[in-house]
């Protein structure tokens, strides 16, 4: 319960911060929008419409009360409903994130365990080296390399873009997401792999692992039974902590692959200085991060029965 | 001859921790290995079951049922462990996986060696829990290790080790980490089970009274060597080595029943 | 020290990048800004070792000069985050409870906001430039520096000699300077190294997105973005800025790891 309160407070504070930052801008929004057509009356009217004539705290609370109900307001520049736009773009970004996380875990856990098993042998060391490289390589470069290999040299996947019909064209949609998701997964996987590896090494050194071996399980078998669940705990928790990195990765990847998702939208809004939209998007994103962290904590609680008892 | 150990030497780098150790165990026989920590007794027992750390350098011969174990692969050893040789460890708390229900852990060797289903395995686990004297076995098999007491966990350890009725059971300080009152119960349980199964037993400990109550023959280890190997009676009557004599004296000083045992007749 | 391969490899990479930056101050093969439209997009040749970009500018020179922006951002951002992070970290550890609680809360909030996202927002407000990037990255990283520093300081505070010092009337400030700082010094170096790696990655990402160093100053990230358009013509171009970034980042990462390894006994390990 206390955690829930903390969560809500964090959301409020961070959205307030973003609000403040954006409002610190020089320049008059109304003026910017109307330009030379800005007669004093028109400016007044616009300001009233967007509550720009009220004091800052009032503006913020107006926004907040709307946001809680799911209404993020209208874009100052285009007049479009922000929530609607966000939802529309999320249909691309959310599956991208999900797919990427799934790939990341699927890559990281087995490789990490392999690296741990073959601790001193060459493929163990090689996997560690690969994971070190993976952390140092910028995400966008991975994307460019993947494009070069799979889209330019051999036309297996599209080098960018998303089908016009969206998910109605299911194979096309999936095909557009494979390379971007893989890019993200490779970047994330490198980090996760280190944790999977150290968690597995930890398991191998445990007494219960020795007991399992004493009952006649081979190292691989014992790992499969005892190792995976125990190794998952730090991996899942790191994945939770990495959610914000994943989101940033999504922004980058959407840029690399020209995907019209939330990230792409955010970048464009930043460029045209659509403050209300940026505010709404950042707030929604932060909320998403917090919620996911909360969910992950719950999942970890389920995975680890000892903490379950205390809760 | 169930187990033949000849010239077993274990080195870590340049340090020799087990030096030219040899002993035999016949089917159904009980051997105690006694020594203080650092004497190499635990490593010797690990060598028999093939669970030495990878950094260990092993030479010598360990033959089980005539088959040489020291040059077998992990795969091959895995088919012997649990099935023919079982082991109980010292720390009941850490010897069990905290994230897995206890019944599943007992059933694991059965499923592995005998290929039975999980459902069947759980049934056998319940039966095993009864055998090791655990009340309310239905509840126990569904519990997690941290929900059980130390004595209960060690009984689980015994149940797991004996699940496939191995011909040889190795016990490494199985009661050292338990409360004194619980120790006696667990030892008695072990005694009964091993007799019922007719298994051979290697009992490793630093506690002479305990070892002598559980075994017929004793090997005294110091600095990695066996300095004395004799039946319990012979040891107490005619201990030749100063170290052994000191062990006996110390034990007599601290344990009355032990004194009666050793000054009376050998049992 | 010679047995520590990680450290030597890391240090070599870092020195290499620094060398490039210093070199760029005195000499480059060509003027990186010199355009020569006839030589647009040529591949590697004896005249231009790495080829030329779409405006005929020599790529090698751009890479060399680009190291300046990268390293400067990295080092400046690290200075900011280390100074702020360490001070906040130490201050909140020795402060009374009623100061500590909101401070931890504040740190958590900043931690939750992703570095690059924060930089994007800042770029929205102040326009893209190297300085917004430096500032944003510095602030964002200071939160994690503060968190790790706090953990280290707590460990030191529990030590017997600190309690003895307290008992003999040693003031808080003296405890900080005489006991805490020297003991966490090693960990600070390791953190600085890691922070530099992150900062450089963040900077190259921002300039890839067009939100970092503005033209005409060469920047590795931006070079990569522009080369992406010409993949069909010659896919080798993105390799150069990519390699430059990787070597530098890897260098700092390995340097940090190597430092941690060699300073191990005196350092309390916190899970990374």
pLDDT in tens, C243-256: 888 888 888 888 88
Give the CATH number, domain containing residue C106: 1.10.3720.10
Rounded (to 5) percent helix, strand, coil in chain C:
75, 0, 25
Q: Residue A290: which of C112, C224, C253 has the nearest Cβ?
A: C112
Confidence grade of residue C140 (pLDDT, cut at 50, 70, 90): confident
Residues of A in contact with B74 (CB under 8 A): 218-219
- Among A68-72, B44-48, C58-62, C128-132, the minimum mean pLDDT is found in A68-72
Mutate to test the interface with C, among A141, A249, A277 (most CBs of C within 10 A): A141
pLDDT of residue C174: 73
C107 in any annotated domain: yes
**Is the pLDDT reported for residue C72 higher than 50?**
yes
Q: How far is CA B55 from CA A51, A125, B12, C138, in A?
A: 73, 17, 7, 45
Query: Which DSSP state fits C129?
Result: -
C59 in any annotated domain: no
Residue B99 at interface with chain A, using a CB cutoff of 8 Å: yes
Rounded (to 5) percent helix, strand, coil in chain B:
45, 25, 30
A-B Cβ pairs (cutoff 8 Å, strict): 81
Task: Look at residues B131, B95, B125, B93 and name the one whose alpha carbon lies nearest to residue B109.
Answer: B125
| pLDDT, averaged across chain C | 78
Q: Which residues of chain A have pLDDT under 50?
A: 308-311
> Which of A168 and B49 is assigned the larger pLDDT?
B49
pLDDT (average), residues B100-123: 88
| CA angle, A230 then A234 then A238, to 5° | 155
CB distance B90 to B176 below 8 Å:
yes
pLDDT of residue B31: 92
Q: What percent of chain B has pLDDT over 90?
A: 13
3-state class of A80 per DSSP? Answer: coil
CB distance A137 to C246 below 8 Å:
yes
Q: What percent of chain B has pLDDT over 70?
A: 95
Residues of A in contact with B115 (CB under 8 A): none
CB distance A229 to A303 below 8 Å:
yes
C115 in any annotated domain: yes
Structure confidence by residue, pLDDT tens digits, B121-166: 899 899 999 988 888 888 988 888 888 888 899 999 998 998 888 9
DSSP A237-259: HHHHHTHHHHHHHHHHHHHHTT-
Query: Which DSSP state fits C214?
Result: P
- Quick check: A139 and C205 CB within 8 A? yes
Q: Which two tokens stand for residue C187?
A: 């960990």
Confidence grade of residue B256 (pLDDT, cut at 50, 70, 90): low
Q: Residue A210: which of B51, B80, B164 has the nearest Cβ?
A: B51
Q: Which two tokens stand for residue C101?
A: 């609680």
Q: How far is CA B236 from CA A212, B246, B251, B266, in A?
A: 38, 11, 11, 8
C102 in any annotated domain: yes
| Secondary element (H or E) of residue A190 | helix A170-204
Give the separation between CA A126 and CA B219, rounded to whole angstroms: 46
**Distance in Å, alpha carbon of A199 to nearest chain B alpha carbon:** 14
Q: What are phi and psi of A161, to 5 degrees?
A: 85, 165
Q: What are phi and psi of B6, to 5 degrees?
A: -130, 125
Give the separation between CA B118 and CA B121, rounded to whole angstroms: 5
pLDDT (average), residues B194-212: 89
Query: Which DSSP state fits A68?
Result: H
pLDDT of residue B171: 92
CA trace torsion A296, A301, A303, A309 (10° rounding): 180
Does the pTM surpass 0.80? The reply is: no
C16 in any annotated domain: no
Place of tokens 């307290």: C166
In chain A, how many H helices and how many E strands?
15, 0
**Distance in Å, alpha carbon of B131 to nearest chain A alpha carbon:** 18
Structural domains of chain C, count: 1
Structure confidence by residue, pLDDT tens digits, A193-229: 888 888 888 888 888 888 888 888 888 888 888 878 7
C202 in any annotated domain: yes
- Quick check: A216 and B160 CB within 8 A? no
pLDDT (average), residues C142-157: 83
Task: Look at residues C59, C53, C60, C61 and name the one whose alpha carbon lies nearest to residue C37.
Answer: C53
Residues of A in contact with C204 (CB under 8 A): 138
Residues of C in contact with A237 (CB under 8 A): none
- Quick check: B81 and A213 CB within 8 A? yes
pLDDT of residue A27: 55
Give the separation between CA C83 and CA C68, rounded to whole angstroms: 22
Residue C123 at interface with chain A, using a CB cutoff of 8 Å: yes
**Distance in Å, alpha carbon of A114 to nearest chain B alpha carbon:** 17
C205 in any annotated domain: yes
What residues does B21 pair with on adjacent strands? B8
Chains near C with 3+ CB pairs less than 8 A apart are: A
- Among A107-116, B235-244, C182-191, the minimum mean pLDDT is found in B235-244
Segment 165-194 of chain B within 8 Å of chain A by CB: none
Q: Which two tokens stand for residue C270?
A: 């916190």
Give the separation between CA B137 and CA C253, rounded to whole angstroms: 53
Task: Give the count of beta carbons closer than 10 Å to the beta carbon of residue B117.
Answer: 10
- Quick check: C114 and A137 CB within 8 A? no
Give the separation between CA A108 and CA C81, rounded to whole angstroms: 31
Could you tell me the strand order of the sheet in which B168-172 lies?
B85-88, B168-172, B200-205, B30-34, B217-222, B225-231
3-state class of C162 per DSSP? Answer: helix
Q: Which two tokens stand for residue B45?
A: 């027992």
The answer, yes or no, to whether A and B have at least 3 beta-carbon pairs within 8 Å is: yes
C253 in any annotated domain: yes
Integer Rg of chain C from CA: 22
Give the separation between CA C230 and CA C54, rounded to whole angstroms: 9
Domain ranges, residue C93: 70-264
Residue A226 at interface with chain B, using a CB cutoff of 8 Å: yes
Chains near A with 3+ CB pairs less than 8 A apart are: B, C
Residue A136 at interface with chain C, using a CB cutoff of 8 Å: yes
Give the separation between CA C258 and CA C4, rounded to whole angstroms: 7
Nearest chain A alpha carbon to C232:
A152
């Amino acid at each position: 319960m206390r955690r829930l309160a903390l969560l809500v407070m964090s959301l409020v504070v961070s959205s307030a911060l973003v609000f403040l930052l954006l409002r610190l801008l020089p320049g008059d929004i109304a003026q910017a929008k109307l330009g030379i057509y800005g007669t004093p009356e028109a400016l007044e009217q616009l300001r009233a419409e967007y509550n720009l004539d009220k004091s800052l705290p009032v503006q913020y609370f107006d926004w907040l009360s709307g946001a809680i109900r799911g209404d993020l307001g209208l874009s100052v520049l285009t007049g479009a409903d922000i929530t609607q736009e966000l939802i529309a773009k999320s249909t691309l970004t959310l599956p991208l994130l999900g797919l990427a996380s799934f790939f990341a875990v699927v890559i990281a856990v087995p490789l990490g365990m392999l690296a741990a098993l073959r601790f001193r042998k060459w493929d163990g060391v090689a996997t560690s080296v690969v994971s070190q490289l993976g952390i140092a390589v910028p995400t966008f470069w991975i994307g460019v390399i993947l494009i070069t290999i799979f889209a330019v040299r051999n036309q297996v996947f599209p080098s960018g873009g998303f089908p016009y019909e969206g998910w109605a064209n299911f194979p096309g949609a999936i095909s557009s997401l494979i390379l971007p998701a893989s890019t993200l997964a490779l970047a994330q996987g490198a980090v996760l792999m280190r944790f999977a590896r150290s968690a597995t090494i930890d398991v191998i050194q445990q007494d219960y692992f020795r007991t399992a071996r004493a009952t006649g399980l081979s190292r691989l078998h014992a790992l499969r039974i005892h190792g995976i669940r125990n190794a998952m705990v730090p991996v899942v928790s790191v994945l939770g902590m990495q959610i914000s990195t994943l989101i940033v990765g999504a922004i980058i990847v959407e840029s690399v692959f020209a995907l019209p998702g939330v990230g792409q939208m955010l970048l464009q809004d930043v460029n045209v200085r659509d403050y209300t939209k940026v505010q709404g998007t950042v707030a929604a994103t932060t909320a998403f991060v917090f919620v996911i962290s909360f969910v992950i904590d719950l999942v970890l609680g389920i995975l680890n029965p000892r903490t379950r008892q205390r809760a | 001859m169930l187990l033949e150990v000849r010239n077993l030497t274990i080195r870590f780098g340049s340090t020799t921790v087990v030096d030219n150790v040899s002993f035999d165990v016949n089917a159904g026989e009980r051997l105690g290995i006694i020594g203080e920590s650092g004497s190499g007794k635990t490593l010797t027992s690990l060598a028999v079951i093939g669970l030495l750390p990878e950094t260990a350098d092993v030479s010598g011969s360990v033959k089980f049922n005539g088959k040489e174990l020291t040059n077998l692969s992990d795969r091959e050893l895995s088919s012997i462990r649990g099935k023919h040789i079982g082991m109980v460890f010292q720390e009941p708390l850490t010897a069990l996986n905290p994230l897995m229900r206890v019944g599943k852990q007992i059933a694991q060797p059965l499923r592995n060696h005998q290929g039975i289903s999980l459902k069947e395995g759980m049934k056998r686990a319940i039966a095993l829990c009864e055998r090791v004297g655990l009340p309310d076995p239905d509840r126990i098999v569904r519990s997690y290790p941290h929900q059980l007491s130390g004595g209960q966990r060690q009984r689980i350890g015994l149940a797991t080790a004996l699940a496939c009725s191995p011909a040889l059971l190795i016990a490494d300080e199985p009661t050292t980490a338990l409360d004194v009152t619980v120790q006696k119960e667990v030892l008695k349980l072990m005694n009964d089970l091993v007799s019922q199964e007719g298994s051979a037993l290697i009992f490793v400990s630093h506690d002479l009274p305990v070892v002598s109550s559980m075994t017929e023959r004793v090997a005294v280890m110091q600095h990695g060597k066996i300095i004395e190997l004799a039946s319990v009676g012979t040891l107490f009557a005619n201990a030749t080595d100063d170290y052994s004599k000191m062990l006996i004296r110390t034990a007599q000083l601290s344990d009355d029943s032990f004194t009666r045992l050793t000054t009376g007749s050998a049992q | 020290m010679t047995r520590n391969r990680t450290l030597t490899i890391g240090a070599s990479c870092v020195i290499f990048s620094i060398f490039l930056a210093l070199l760029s101050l005195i000499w480059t093969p060509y003027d990186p800004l010199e355009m020569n439209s006839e030589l647009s997009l040529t591949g590697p040749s004896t005249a231009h070792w790495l080829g030329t970009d779409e405006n005929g500018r020599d790529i090698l020179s751009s890479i060399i000069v680009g190291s300046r922006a990268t390293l400067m951002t990295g080092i400046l951002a690290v200075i900011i985050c280390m100074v702020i992070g360490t001070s906040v970290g130490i201050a909140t550890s020795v402060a009374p409870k009623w100061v500590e609680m909101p401070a931890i809360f504040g740190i958590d909030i900043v931690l939750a906001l992703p570095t690059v996202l924060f930089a994007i927002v800042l770029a929205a407000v102040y326009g893209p430039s190297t300085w917004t990037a430096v500032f944003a990255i510095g602030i964002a990283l200071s939160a994690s520096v503060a968190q790790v520093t706090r953990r280290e300081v707590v460990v030191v505070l529990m030590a017997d000699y600190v309690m003895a010092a307290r008992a003999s009337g040693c003031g808080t400030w003296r405890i900080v300077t005489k006991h805490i700082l020297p003991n966490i010094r090693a960990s600070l170096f390791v953190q600085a190294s890691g922070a530099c790696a992150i900062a450089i990655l963040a900077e190259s990402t921002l300039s890839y997105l067009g939100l970092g160093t503005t033209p005409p100053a060469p920047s590795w990230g931006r070079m990569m973005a522009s080369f992406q358009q010409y993949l069909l013509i010659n896919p080798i171009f993105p390799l150069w800025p990519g390699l430059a970034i990787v070597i530098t980042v890897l260098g700092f990462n390995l340097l940090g790891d190597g430092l941690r390894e060699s300073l191990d006994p005196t350092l309390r390990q916190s899970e990374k």
